[in-house]
């Protein structure tokens, strides 16, 4: 018999725990910290790490509670115990074997009805792996729960909802009490408790104290008058105590006196920390089931949701932005409509909430919930939220507002359909359209802000003054043979208690009997001006908006435009298509930054940018979300200006975070401004503020931003205002000019000028995988004296320094081929698009710039001046056709639609200092501004060379490169060689020296290396990294629910093994399809491991079972850690597995040793 790792066999061979008891309290003396690693195949789980006895018990209890055919579990350490304790049906036996202090094997067997015990091949062992690998013990409060506590400081009992039910006949009090306890046992959140934690944080534990159930959830009493009953209801409400785990209280009232109607009433109060509105139908249905079972003389068998909330908090952690993003949103949330938590209403007893209600007829309801959502591409909740937003804007008298949209977070998660808990999702909706628009035009304008990509409510930041919730029919209290709603005005929604809301006004809606019912809940508050008259006015405006919208849906007219539209250019459409294809990468998002020396008036700064937005059509433009080939010119947009303190985040972190945040191309306002204050000065030096402008090339190019920046300075100098109306020419004039052009000359040119097959595209030779992720920026500098000499040398040959840079790049592409004779090279070159014959185009802000293919022959026997002349002539030829997009060039040259025209690009930024008059006027106000500098946008190219002058006059060469293909050291090598070639040009590249001699200045063996481009995605699988050798095998990463493969970026960078790295696209993918694709992707006989964070185990095990071979073996599944912070640990585990021998575990094996195995038997 193996020695138990967690105690003697006698300890675990005692009385079996029943399913109802699994919901009983179980608190660990110490919790795991996410260090447990589970390596498993089928029902055999290898446990690596410190094994906490209570954590193992808790995991098994939750596992059994979630299986309908199991109600008992037992841990044993020897198979002989089977004889000592013969099993009944519905038993899970977990046999524990110890191999060392931090290594155990857990073998699962089940006892089906009428059959002997057998290995649990069909058990969802991945669920148990998730429960073991995830953190045990207290879990953090969700953002929604933290809001609840902040809204009820000092009296948390007030934060609850209640419902009054009439029982059709007498009910035995003891039976009702047992039924309530069954409900509490099935839903651990109902007996969870708040405990203090280090750092004065509040944590919620769903692992209740062992004596949970110690309190009596029910009070039964007889009443003869209403006053006594009301007093008892108030006492029931006050009895809720989340710190003691009392989150459900009930009052069973028996009447019969003259002052109280005969019959039984049941009042239920449930704390908001334990249940949201969608939980109430589940609670009442389970209570009815429990009463039916007890009345029939059988124990209740309710479906448990044990462990769901822990999974939910892990999902939130995976989906929530990092702390820096939260800090940004706290800064961004300071709008006029934001407000902190409202002070509690006076009076501790009874509901203090006031209500204002109205309902719409069936016909109008049908339009608002059926016809119009389909027409606008919105959900019912989103469409109604748009109407609420316009009503709030008119009520508050502002175009700019923010409010919260609350929806059910269970949507899209079938396993949570009957989970009881606070799963509400809160999204911050920000609207800035003209409130005076007709409701249909307003809805069209704000539709992009209402979709699922809206911001989450900022944690810890200012609260919006209002919120909206639409309750679908599934959230309404169900009808029942045992309960009917009671009270003077019974509602099918549980009613809130008073004074515990962070909002001044809450608007709720639901559909009942075909009619839309709208209810505004509010507490009188002099501080925010909310009273009965003002709320009546809000409801009147909301009704008017809804009725107008319903009228607009009476015919088949298309969705109204939020403003006039123009056709998107082919270049814009291509950039738009590339951006969502690489979410989170920040592709084509550019940034311009500089330092502001001297005083900066935030109010004037913001007003100046708003004046620019009002003048420039471009800044109010956005893609049409229904037709991506059109650009909507909105009549209004709000300048986004956020000011951060120097302690909020580092400058480097701000730039990278803001770039990855991206730009919403479907909302007006394609430019964002962030200010980062410098540290306080010493009183002598001027204050400094760093300014960051972030924009997207699909709507704004860098030339435009420099034009806009001059306008901003003028507005700032004039106290935040600009004279005159809209600028012309603008985007409308440019698109009109494009539409008038004859493409025939451009077609003739580009069909000849485009690259031919076999053209050299890369400045590096093929190399091994980098094992890196993300994009890097590596720079080298040519000092000012050398830069000046380069300009003089280039001019002597009739070209600019930008042509010299292109020549150096062309030589690197030629050199990487290893050819000794002539080669043709192609790379992209940036063009400003302002050479067209349109009056005023040089002052026109718009997306005119682009990157076009430059193809040139490099002959080692020719001279550098000859190469310069070829590049210059090609540039002049291209200038007449630089308004053409890559889409047309690709088609005219006979290339496939997905084939790249070039592999790299060169972007040379000319010097454009601000006008002298603006510099002088700013100086008169004590302000000095540095020349703005660009960071260089990332793209789908592996490397892009950005060349610009710095503030000292030196020439700065920056490689913006994909680190997955080009390592930082290789990028630095390319830059060093580029600089070396530029120096060689100046030092002796004349009309007699051939190119071959110039190239001899570079070390021959030091050619940069670049990894091959990743292969195409395979359906539900995506390739993150290629294998280093054909027999290396593969690791397939499985995301937890709610996450994407992007969460494994850090793991890809940390993993040192040679395997191919694949990932399942989503936790919602079908395991059958994923298994089929894995069998196709992975060669027969090569090692396959599935791995992921806690939460991924269930899907990973289901995939592994289906991948399993005919001999009963299946891939290992590794579950470890809770997210990217554990990347190093999981990478180490995977590398360790790869170093072990090929073994298998058979039914009579005692389990693998610490140097683990590649495959385990499914029928072990």
Cβ atoms 596, 875 nearer than 8 A: no
For the chain, percent of residues with pLDDT exceeding 90? 32
Mean pLDDT value of segment 283-299: 93
Summarised one tens digit per residue, pLDDT across range 754-808 is 767 778 889 999 988 887 777 888 999 999 999 999 999 999 999 999 999 999 9
- Residue 613 has a CB neighbour count (10 Å cut-off) of 21
- Which of 106-110, 251-255, 1076-1080 shows the lowest mean pLDDT across its residues? 1076-1080
Could you tell me the CA-to-CA distances from 641 to 449, 454, 605, 634 in Å, in that order?
18, 18, 9, 19
Best-predicted range by mean pLDDT among 245-259, 454-468, 681-695, 787-801? 787-801
pLDDT band of residue 1043 (cuts 50, 70, 90) is: confident
* Whether the predicted pLDDT of 79 surpasses 60: no
Is 328 within a domain?
no
Q: List the single range of 64-78, 472-486, 1039-1053 with lowest mean pLDDT.
A: 64-78
What confidence tier does 897 reach under pLDDT thresholds 50, 70, 90? Answer: low
H or E segment at 517?
Answer: strand 515-522
Is 335 a member of any domain?
A: no
In a domain, 771, yes or no: no
DSSP 817-857: HT-SS-EEEEEEEEE-S--SS-TTGGG--SS--EEEEEEEE
Q: 778 or 1114, which is more confident?
A: 778
Question: Do residue 107 and residue 124 come from a single domain?
Answer: yes
Task: Say which residue, 120 or 513, is predicted with more confidence.
Answer: 513
Residue 839 lies in a domain: no
Q: Supply the pLDDT for residue 1109.
A: 62
Last residue of a domain, which of 297, 315, 333?
A: 315
Closest by alpha carbon to 906, among 964, 846, 975, 847?
A: 975
- pLDDT value at residue 352: 65
Q: What is the tens place of the pLDDT at every residue in 987-1038?
A: 887 878 899 988 988 876 689 999 887 655 557 888 888 777 778 888 999 9
N-terminal to C-terminal alpha carbon distance within the chain? 18
Q: Identify the DSSP state of 189.
A: G
| Token reading at 263 | 């019959």
The answer on pLDDT for 177 being more than 90 is yes
Residue 538 forms part of a structural domain:
no
Segment 754-758 long-range contacts (CB within 8 Å, at least 24 positions apart): 754/853, 754/855, 754/889, 754/890, 754/892, 754/893, 754/895, 754/901, 755/824, 755/826, 755/853, 755/855, 755/893, 755/901, 755/902, 756/824, 756/855, 758/824
With b for 16 or more beta-carbon neighbours within 10 A and e for fewer, the 59-86 pattern comes to bbbbbbbbbeebbbbbbbbeeebbeebe
Give the CA diameter of the chain.
118
Instruction: State whether 745 and 734 are in the same domain.
Output: no
987 and 861 within one domain = yes
Question: CATH no. for residue 397?
Answer: 3.30.559.30
pLDDT of residue 206: 45
Cα distances (Å, whole numbers) of residue 757 to 392, 428, 813, 814, 823? 60, 51, 15, 15, 12
Say yes or no to pLDDT of 374 above 50. yes
Q: What is the DSSP letter of 1115?
A: E
pLDDT per position as a tens digit, 555-614: 666 777 778 889 988 888 888 877 654 444 568 889 999 999 999 999 999 999 999 999
Which range among 102-111, 245-254, 917-926, 1106-1115 shows the weakest confidence by mean pLDDT? 1106-1115
Q: Cα dist. 122→125, 389, 712, 1074 in Å?
A: 8, 50, 67, 19
- Nearest of 155, 483, 573 to residue 345 by alpha carbon: 155
111 near 175, Cβ under 8 Å?
Answer: no
Are residues 577 and 517 part of one domain?
no
What average pLDDT does the segment 453-469 reach? Answer: 63
Clarify whether residues 806 and 875 are in a common domain.
yes
Residue environment code for 587-601, b if the CB has 16+ CB neighbours within 10 A, otherwise e:
bbbbbbbbbbbeebe
Q: Is the pLDDT of residue 1150 over 60?
A: no
Please report whether residue 370 resides in a domain.
Answer: yes
Give the pLDDT of residue 3: 30
Give the range among 500-514, 633-647, 1033-1047 with minimum mean pLDDT: 1033-1047
Domain count, the chain: 6
pLDDT band at 191 (very low <50, low <70, confident <90, very high): confident
| Confidence band of 340 (pLDDT split at 50, 70, 90) | very low
The sign one gets for the Cα dihedral 1033, 1039, 1044, 1049 is: negative
Q: What is the mean pLDDT of residues 356-384?
A: 91
**Residue found under tokens 């809204």:** 151
Asked whether residue 930 is assigned to any structural domain, the reply reads: no
Pairing of strands 37-41, 44-48: antiparallel
- With 60 as the cut, is the pLDDT of residue 1041 above it? yes
Whether residues 380 and 522 fall in one domain: yes
For 647-666, how does the pLDDT look when each residue is reduced to its tens digit (9 = 90+)? 888 898 888 888 877 888 88
Alpha helices for 123-278 (secondary structure H): 125-133, 143-151, 173-186, 226-238
Looking at residues 1096-1124, what average pLDDT do you find? 80
Are 382 and 311 contained in the same domain? no
Lookup result for tokens 């000794």? 820
Q: Which residue has the higher pLDDT, 780 or 87?
A: 780
H-run or E-run covering 364: helix 362-366
Beta strands in 260-392 (DSSP E): 263-271, 338-339, 354-359
Q: What is the per-residue pLDDT for 51?
A: 83
pLDDT value at 388 more than 60: yes
Predicted local distance difference test score (pLDDT) of residue 456: 52
Confidence class for position 692, pLDDT limits 50, 70, 90: very high
Whole-number pLDDT of residue 1016: 54
Does 1122 reside within a domain?
A: yes
Say if residue 234 is in the same domain as residue 260.
yes
Give 980's pLDDT tier (boundaries 50, 70, 90): very high
Classified as helix, coil or strand, 167 is strand
Q: What are phi and psi of 784, to 5 degrees?
A: -55, -45
Judge if 282 and 431 occupy the same domain: no
At 78, is the pLDDT very low, low, confident or very high (cuts 50, 70, 90)?
low
Q: How many CA atoms lie within 13 A of 1100 on its CB side?
A: 35
Residue 119, pLDDT > 80, answer no
- Of 792, 805, 762, give the one whose Cα is nearest residue 957: 805
Distance in angstroms (rounded) separating the CA atoms of residues 686 and 1106: 67
Average the pLDDT over 533-543 and give the result: 94
Query: Which two tokens mark 465?
Result: 């003054």
Tell whether 521 and 374 lie within a shared domain: yes
Across the chain, what does the average pLDDT equal? 80
Q: Is the pLDDT of residue 345 over 60?
A: no
User: Is-contact 643 677, C-beta < 8 A?
Assistant: yes
Please say if the pLDDT value at position 1092 is more than 80.
yes
What tokens does 61 get? 């209890």
Between 1148 and 984, residue with greater pLDDT: 984
Tokens, residue 1088: 């396959």
Residue 200 has pLDDT above 60, yes or no: no
Question: pLDDT class for 259, splitting at 50, 70, 90?
Answer: low
* pLDDT-derived band at 347, boundaries 50, 70, 90: very low
- C-alpha span between 665 and 807 (Å, rounded): 36
Which of 675, 659, 653 is closest to 589 using CA atoms? 659
Which residue would you say has higher pLDDT here, 373 or 349? Answer: 373
The verdict on whether omega for the bond into residue 729 sits within 30 degrees of 0, i.e. cis, is yes
CA distance 272 to 499: 13
Structural domain of residue 760, as residue ranges? 741-765+776-833+847-923+943-1003
| Confidence label for 530 from pLDDT (cuts 50, 70 and 90) | confident
If one counts every other C-beta atom within 10 angstroms of the C-beta of residue 858, the result is 24
So what's the pLDDT on residue 1042? 65
The residue among 273 and 586 whose pLDDT is bigger is 273
> What is d(CA 516, CA 510) in angstroms, rounded to the nearest whole number?
6
- Strongest mean pLDDT among 323-327, 1115-1119, 1141-1145: 1115-1119
Which of these three, 529, 552, 584, is where a domain ends?
529
Residues 824 and 948 in one domain: yes
Residue 383 above 90 pLDDT?
yes
Nearest of 498, 535, 492, 501 to residue 426 by alpha carbon:
501
Range from 13-22, 269-278, 692-701, 825-834 carrying the lowest mean pLDDT = 13-22
Give the CATH number for residue 650: 3.30.559.10
Identify whether residues 677 and 728 lie together within a single domain: yes
Q: Name the nearest CA neighbour of 1 among 102, 87, 93, 76.
A: 76
pLDDT at residue 1152 above 80?
A: no
Most confident segment among 16-25, 34-43, 695-704: 695-704
Between 811 and 36, whose confidence is greater? 811
Among 731-740, 898-907, 1141-1150, which is the least confidently predicted range? Answer: 1141-1150
Residue at which a domain ends, from 529, 551, 573: 529
């Amino acid at each position: 018999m193996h020695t138990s790792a967690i105690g003697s066999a006698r300890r675990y061979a005692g009385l079996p725990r029943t399913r109802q008891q699994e919901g009983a309290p179980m608190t660990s003396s110490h919790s795991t910290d996410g260090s447990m690693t589970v390596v498993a195949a089928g029902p055999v789980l290898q446990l690596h790490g410190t094994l906490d006895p209570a954590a193992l018990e808790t995991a098994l209890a939750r596992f059994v509670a979630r299986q309908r055919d199991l109600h008992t579990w037992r841990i044993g350490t020897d198979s002989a115990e089977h004889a000592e304790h013969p099993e009944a049906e519905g038993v899970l036996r977990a046999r524990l074997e110890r191999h060392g202090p931090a290594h155990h094997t857990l073998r699962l067997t089940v006892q089906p009805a009428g059959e002997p015990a057998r290995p649990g091949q069909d058990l969802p062992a991945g669920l148990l792996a998730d429960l073991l690998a995830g953190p045990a013990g207290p879990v953090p409060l969700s953002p929604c729960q933290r809001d609840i506590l902040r809204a009820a400081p000092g009296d948390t009992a007030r934060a609850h909802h209640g419902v009054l039910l009439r029982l059709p006949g007498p009910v035995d009090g003891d039976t009702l009490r047992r039924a309530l306890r069954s409900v509490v046992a099935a839903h651990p959140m109902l007996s969870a408790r708040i405990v203090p934690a280090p750092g004065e944080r509040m944590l919620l534990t769903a692992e209740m104290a062992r004596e949970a159930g110690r309190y009596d959830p029910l009070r039964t009493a007889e009443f003869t008058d209403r006053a006594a009953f009301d007093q008892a209801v108030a006492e029931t409400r006050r009895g809720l105590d989340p710190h003691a785990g009392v989150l459900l209280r009930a009052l069973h009232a028996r009447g019969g006196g003259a002052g109280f109607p005969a019959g039984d009433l049941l009042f239920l109060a449930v704390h908001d920390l334990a249940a949201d509105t969608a939980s109430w139908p589940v609670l009442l249905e389970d209570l009815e089931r429990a009463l039916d079972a007890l009345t029939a003389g059988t124990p209740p068998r309710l479906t448990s949701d044990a462990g769901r909330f822990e999974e939910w908090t892990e999902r939130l952690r995976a989906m929530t932005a990092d702390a820096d993003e939260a800090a940004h949103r706290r800064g961004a949330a300071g709008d006029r409509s934001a407000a902190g938590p409202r002070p509690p209403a006076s009076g501790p007893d009874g509901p203090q909430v006031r209500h204002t209600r109205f309902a719409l007829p069936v016909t109008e309801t049908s339009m608002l919930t059926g016809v119009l959502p389909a027409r606008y591409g919105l959900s019912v909740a989103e469409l109604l939220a748009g109407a609420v937003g316009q009503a709030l804007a008119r009520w508050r008298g502002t175009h700019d507002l923010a409010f919260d949209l609350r929806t059910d977070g269970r949507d899209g998660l079938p396993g949570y359909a009957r989970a009881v808990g606070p799963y509400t999702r809160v999204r911050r909706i920000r609207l800035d359209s003209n409130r005076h628009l007709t409701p249909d035009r307003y809805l069209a304008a704000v539709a992009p802000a209402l979709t699922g990509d809206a911001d989450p409510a900022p944690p810890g930041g200012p609260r919006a003054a209002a919120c909206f919730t639409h309750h679908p029919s599934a959230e309404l209290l169900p009808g029942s043979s045992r309960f009917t709603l009671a009270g003077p005005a019974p509602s099918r929604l549980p009613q809130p208690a008073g004074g515990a809301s962070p909002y001044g006004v809450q608007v709720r809606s639901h559909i009942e009997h075909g009619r839309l019912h709208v209810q505004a809940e509010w507490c009188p508050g002099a501080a925010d001006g909310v009273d009965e008259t003002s709320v009546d006015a809000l409801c009147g405006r909301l009704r008017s908006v809804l009725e107008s919208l319903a009228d607009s849906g009476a015919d088949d007219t298309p969705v109204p435009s939020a403003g006039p539209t123009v056709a998107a250019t082919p270049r814009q459409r291509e950039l738009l298509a590339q951006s969502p294809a690489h979410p989170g990468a920040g592709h084509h998002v550019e940034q311009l930054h500089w330092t502001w020396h001297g005083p900066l008036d935030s109010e004037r700064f913001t007003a100046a940018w708003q004046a620019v937005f009002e003048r420039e059509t471009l800044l109010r433009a956005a893609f049409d979300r229904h037709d991506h080939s059109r650009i909507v010119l909105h009549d209004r947009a709000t300048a986004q200006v956020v000011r951060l303190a120097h302690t909020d985040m580092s400058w480097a972190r701000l730039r990278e975070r803001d770039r990855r945040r991206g730009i919403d191309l479907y909302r007006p306002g394609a430019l964002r401004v962030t200010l980062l204050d410098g540290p306080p000065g010493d009183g002598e030096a001027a204050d400094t503020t760093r300014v960051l402008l972030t924009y997207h090339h699909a709507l704004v190019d860098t030339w435009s931003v420099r034009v806009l920046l001059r306008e901003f300075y003028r507005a700032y100098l004039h106290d935040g205002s600009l004279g005159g109306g809209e600028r012309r020419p603008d985007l409308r004039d440019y698109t009109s000019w494009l539409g008038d052009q004859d493409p025939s000359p451009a077609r003739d040119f580009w069909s000849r000028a485009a690259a031919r097959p076999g053209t050299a595209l890369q400045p590096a030779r093929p190399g091994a995988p980098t094992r890196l992720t993300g994009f890097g920026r590596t720079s080298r500098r040519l000092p000012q004296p050398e830069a000046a000499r380069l300009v003089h040398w280039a001019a002597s040959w009739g070209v600019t320094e930008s042509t010299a840079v292109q020549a150096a790049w062309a030589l690197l592409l030629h050199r990487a081929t290893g050819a000794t004779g002539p080669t043709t090279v192609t790379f992209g070159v940036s063009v400003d698009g302002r050479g067209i014959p349109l009056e005023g185009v040089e002052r026109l802000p718009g997306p005119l710039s682009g990157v076009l293919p430059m193809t040139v022959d490099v002959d080692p026997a020719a001279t550098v001046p000859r190469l310069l002349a070829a590049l210059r002539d090609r540039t002049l030829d291209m200038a007449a056709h630089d308004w053409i997009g890559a889409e047309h060039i690709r088609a005219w040259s006979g290339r496939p639609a997905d084939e790249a025209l070039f592999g790299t690009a060169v972007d040379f930024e000319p010097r454009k200092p601000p006008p002298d008059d603006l510099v002088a006027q700013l100086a008169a106000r004590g302000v000095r501004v540095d020349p703005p500098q660009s960071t260089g946008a990332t793209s789908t190219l592996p490397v892009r060379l950005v060349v610009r002058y710095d503030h000292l006059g030196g020439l700065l060469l920056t490689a913006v490169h994909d680190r997955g293909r080009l390592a930082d050291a290789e990028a630095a090598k390319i830059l060093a060689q580029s600089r070396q070639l530029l120096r060689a040009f100046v030092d002796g590249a004349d009309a007699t020296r051939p190119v071959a001699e110039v190239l001899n200045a570079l070390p021959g063996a030091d050619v940069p290396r670049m990894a091959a481009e990743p292969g195409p995605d395979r359906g539900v699988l995506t390739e993150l990294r290629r294998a280093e050798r054909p027999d290396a095998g593969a690791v397939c990463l499985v995301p937890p629910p709610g996450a994407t493969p992007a969460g494994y970026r850090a793991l890809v960078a940390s993993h040192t093994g040679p395997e191919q790295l694949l990932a399942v696209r989503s936790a919602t993918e079908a395991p059958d399809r994923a298994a089929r694709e894995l069998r196709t992707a992975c060669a027969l006989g090569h090692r396959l491991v599935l791995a992921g964070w806690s939460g991924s185990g269930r899907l990973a095990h289901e995939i592994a079972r289906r991948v399993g071979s005919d001999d009963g073996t299946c891939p290992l599944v590794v579950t470890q850690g809770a997210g990217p912070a554990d990347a190093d640990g999981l990478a180490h585990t995977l590398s360790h597995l790869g170093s072990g021998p090929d073994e298998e575990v058979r039914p009579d094996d005692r389990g693998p040793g610490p140097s683990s195995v590649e495959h385990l038997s499914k029928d072990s």
